[in-house]
A and B are shown apart, each in its own frame.
Chain A
Amino acid sequence: EVQLVESGGGLVQPGGSLRVSCAASGFTFSTYWMHWVRQAPGKGLVWVSRINTDGSTTSYADSVKGRFTISRDNAKNTLYLQMNSLRAEDTAVYYCVLRGVTKLYWGQGTLVTVSS
């Protein structure tokens, strides 16, 4: 059974940094592209970033480009999102998403709150 478990969320001040993680199990992690999606309070779902199987190709939404870095450790079956220069508008639940062969799998999310 596919399991995605996010962690690392919390309260951070504007301008600060945070790294969230996603521990994957139940599938061959190293063979799938992975994504981060976020949802601000009361708002819709927004794609944030994606990474290819070996980490050599990444892509970002314009709103986070230059501030966020996606990475993965295939030996640890873990996906990461390093978030720097955080702003109030980055406050959201962050979900990791597996794009499987025919469908998608989601974790339960981790809440990041940017506030002073």
Chain B
Amino acid sequence: DIQMTQSPSTLSASVGDRVTITCRASESISGWLAWYQQKPGKAPRLLIYKASTLESGVPSRFSGSGSGTEFTLSISSLQPDDFATYYCQQYNSYSQTFGQGTKLEIK
């Protein structure tokens, strides 16, 4: 099974900061990588798919990059609504696995 290692597990930042979250796959997943935002009691919200494609309706301050085994999610200027937990997910072929999550907290 493909393992996903996400870092950091917790990130403290301020409104207006630029932040980056990293996800590493144990083997190449080409570009089959998605990023989600999740708030308590809610289903995950798709932000980015195919590593770098912004989901419709998602603000342009979110961006994704990477290929093969290394991927990043960046938020260019944090807004109050962005403080949440973020997950990466690989969906290469017929399998799916998730990163452990990154909790983005207000500093």
Contacting pair B46 A99 (CB below 8 A)? no
Size of B's binding interface in residues, CB under 8 A: 20
A contact face: mostly helix, strand, loop, or mixed: strand
Contact-size category for A: 20 to 34
Residue in A45, A104, A109 whose beta carbon sits within 8 Å of that of B49 in the complex: A104
Contacting pair A35 B96 (CB below 8 A)? yes
Contacting pair B96 A102 (CB below 8 A)? no
Assembly CA distance A99 to B87 (angstroms): 17
Assembly CA distance A104 to B36 (angstroms): 11
**Residues of chain B within 8 A of A46, CB atoms compared:** 98
Contacting pair A107 B43 (CB below 8 A)? yes
A106-B44 contact in complex given A44-B87, A44-B100, C-beta closer than 8 Å: yes
Shortest Cβ distance from B33 into chain A, in angstroms?
11
Q: Hey, which bits of chain B sit against chain A, CB under 8 A?
A: 34, 36, 43-44, 46, 49-50, 53, 55, 87, 89, 91, 94-101
